[in-house]
Amino acid sequence: MSFRLDQYSQPLLEAVLGSLREGIIVIDRQTEVVLYNQAAVDVFNLSPVMTGPLRLIDITRNKAIHDGFQQVLREGRPFDTNLEIFGIQERTFSFRATPLLMPSAHEVVGAIGVFFDVTQLVRLERVRREFFANLSHELRTPLTSILAYVETLLNGALYDQENNLQFLRIINKHAMRMQNLVRDIADLSAIEAGEFKLDPVTIELKGFVDNLAVLVAPEAAARQVTFRNEVTPGVYVQADPQALEQILMNLIINAVKFNRPGGEVVVTAGFEGDTRTIIAVRDTGVGIEAKHLPRIFERLYRVDKSRSQEVGGTGLGLAIVKHLVLNHGGDISVDSTPGVGSEFRIRLPRPPLPS
Amino acid sequence: MDTLVLDAPLQDLRDKVLLLGGQAEDALSRALGALIRRNSPLAEQVIHNDDTIDSVEVEIDELCASLLMRAAELGPADVRFVIGVLRTTPMIERIADHAVNIAHHALRLNDEPEFKLYIALPHMATLVQALLTAALDALTQSDTAKARQTIRRDNEVDLLYRRMFAELTASMTRDPSTVTRAAELLFVIKHLERIADYATNICEQVVYLVEGRSIKHTPDAWQHPD
C-alpha cells in the first residue's frame, strides 16, 4: 500500500495531535514552541489571545518542566518524572520529555514533552493504600485482644472461676467484630461487582420505618436517644426491601450511635417531582467537620479513629449504603454542622404513577 | 496583543525572570498548602528551595548589568525592559521570602492543636494566589489590561485582611488559649497582604514596560489606559 504522507502530513498530524488526551509540546533548542495540541492548551490553561511565536516560558513558569526540557536538550536522553503542580488546584502529571532528532541533523534539534494528568489515578492509589492499611488495623485490633485473652486462659485463668467467663465474653465480642467486618467486606465486594441482584418493589415507607423502629429500639434506649418516624403516610419508594432495610438501618444506627444522651433521630420522607422519593435521616449528634464530608463514604474511613472502638461498627457501613443507593439509580448526600448534627438524604426512584 | 520582540540575551533575561516568578508562585502555593492542609513536609520544601531562588536573583542582576553595559546598542524599549526587570526581580524575591515566612509559621502551627478560626483564611489564600498568578500572567503576556484589572483587586485583599485581623484579635480576647496560634496567624495574613501589594507593584511594572509610563505614584492612572 502506498501512502503519500507529504500531501496529508499536515492535516494528519493535526488530527492525530488533536485526538490525544496527552498534552504535547514540542520546542526547539532555543525553547521556542514549535507545536502544541489542544490537550496542552487545556493542561496549561493557555489563553486564546496568545499569538505569534511562543516560548516555553509563555506556556508554563513551572521550573521542573523547564529543567526537564533543558536536560533533554543537553543530554539527548529521555526524561521521565511525576510533576506535582501546585496552584489553586493541585494536580499531578506524568511528564515525559524525549529528544527530537531529524534525519538531516546530527544533533538534537529540539524536545518533545508529553503531559498526562494522573491526579485521579494518584488519588485512587492513595485511597487503595489507605484501605489496606485501615483493613489490617481493623482486623489486627480484635485479633490482638483475642490472642491475649486466649493466652491468659491457657496460662491458668481457665480455672479462675471469677474471671474465665468474662474473658470468654470479651473473646466472643471481638470475634463477632471480625466476623461482621468480613461479612461487610464480602457484601461490599458483591455489591460493587454487581452480584447483589436488586428486586425493586413498591414500598410504603411509614410502615417500613415503623418495623425498623422495633429493631433500633434497644440501641436507642441504651444511649437515651429518642427515635421518631415522621414519614408522611402515603409516601412510596421503588426499592429492593432487603437493600432498603440495610441502607436505612445503617443510617439510623449511625445517627443513634453518634448522638448525645437526650438527643433524637428523625426520619422523614417525601416525593421530589414525579420520579424521585427523598428519605432523610436527621440526628442531633456530634456532626461531621466539613473536611471529612467528602471522604466519609470511603471504605474504612474514620472521622475519629479514637472513637471507632467505642461506637463499634465495621467502618464499611456508609460505603455499603452508598453503593446500594447508587445501584438503585439513586444518590446520597449529607449536610452536617459540627456540634449540632447531621442529615443524610437519599434519593431513590418513586414508583411509577398509575396512568 | 503585541508580544515584545527581543534579541537573544533579552529573551534569556525574560525567561529567567518569569521562571523566578514561577518559583515564587510555587513557593506560595506550597506554603499555603502546608498551612491549610497541615502538611509540614510541604513547608520544609519551601524553606529548602529558597536558596535556589536567591541564586537566580543574583544571576538576573549580573545579566542586567552586562546588558546595561552595552546600553548604547539597545533600543529604548529594551533599556526599559532591563530597568523593569531590575525593579521586578527584587519584588519576586520578596514574595518568595514571604512564602518562606508563611512556611515557618505553618510548621509551628502544625505542631499545635488545629485552630478553628481558619474560616476566612483559605479564601484570602486563594485570592492572593490568584492575584500573584494574574500579575505574572500579565507580565508574561505584556497584558496591560490584565495588569490594571489585577491592581484593582488588591482592595479585596485589604478588606479580607482587616476582617481577619479583627476576627483573630477578638479570638485572643475571648479565649486566651488561642493567643499563640492567633498571633502566628496575624503574621501569616500580614505576609499575604504584603504579597498582594508586591503583585500590584509587578502589575505597575507591566504598564511601565509596555507603555513606558509609571503609574506607581498616580493612583488613578489605571483608570485611564489611553
For A86-135, how does the pLDDT look when each residue is reduced to its tens digit (9 = 90+)? 766 788 999 999 999 887 777 889 999 999 999 989 888 888 888 888 88
Q: Tell me whether A89 touches chain B (CB under 8 Å).
A: no
pLDDT-based confidence at residue B15 (cuts at 50, 70, 90): very high
Q: Which residues of A touch B140 (CB under 8 A)?
A: 57-58, 61
Give percent of chain A above pLDDT 90. Answer: 45
**Nearest by CB: A61 against B8, B136, B143:** B136
Q: Which class is A5-117 in CATH?
A: alpha beta
Rama region for B150: left / alpha / beta (φ>0; ψ in -120 to 50; rest): alpha
Strands A264-272 and A226-229: parallel
Task: Kindly determine whether residue B8 and residue A86, on different chains, have CB atoms separated by under 8 Å.
Answer: no
Q: Give residue B144's pLDDT.
A: 93
Query: For testing the chain B interface, which of A28, A46, A58, A61 should be mutated: the one with the most B CBs within 10 Å?
Result: A61
Q: Give the 3-state secondary structure of residue A236.
A: strand
Q: Tell me whether B24 touches chain A (CB under 8 Å).
A: no
Q: Give residue A276's pLDDT.
A: 93
The tens digit of pLDDT for each residue in A164-175 reads 899 999 999 889
CATH of domain A120-195: 1.10.287.130
pLDDT-based confidence at residue B226 (cuts at 50, 70, 90): very low
The tens digit of pLDDT for each residue in B90-139 reads 999 999 999 999 999 999 999 888 776 566 788 899 999 999 999 999 99
Domains of chain B with CATH codes: 8-223 (1.20.58.220)
The average pLDDT across A275-291 equals 89
Q: Which residues of A touch B29 (CB under 8 A)?
A: 86-88, 90
Q: Give residue B75's pLDDT.
A: 83
pLDDT-based confidence at residue A298 (cuts at 50, 70, 90): confident
Q: Where along chain A do its domains lie?
A: 5-117, 120-195, 197-355
**Lowest mean pLDDT across A218-222, A277-281, A294-298, A323-327:** A294-298
Q: Give residue A292's pLDDT.
A: 82
The reply to whether domains A5-117 and A120-195 share a CATH topology is no
Query: What's the whole-number average pLDDT of chain A?
Result: 87
Q: Given 3-state DSSP classes, what are the helix, strand and coil percentages for chain B, each rounded to the nearest 5?
A: 85, 0, 15
Query: What's the whole-number average pLDDT of chain B?
Result: 88
Q: Give residue A24's pLDDT.
A: 94
Q: Tell me whether A47 touches chain B (CB under 8 Å).
A: yes
Backbone angles phi, psi at B20, to 5 degrees: -60, -40
Which residues lie closer than 8 Å to A176 by C-beta, 6 or more apart?
Answer: none
Q: Which of A6-20, A164-178, A306-320, B84-98 is predicted most confidently?
A: B84-98
Does pLDDT of A343 surpass 90? yes
The correct answer on CATH 3.30.1330.10 for the domain covering A197-355 is no
Task: Kindly determine whether residue B140 and residue A57, on different chains, have CB atoms separated by under 8 Å.
Answer: yes
Strands (E), chain A: 23-28, 33-36, 79-85, 91-101, 108-117, 201-204, 226-229, 236-239, 264-272, 276-283, 331-337, 341-349
Instruction: State the cell numbers at A312.
Output: 463499634
Residue bearing the bigger pLDDT, A74 or A192? A74
Interface predicted TM-score (ipTM) of this complex, two decimals:
0.84
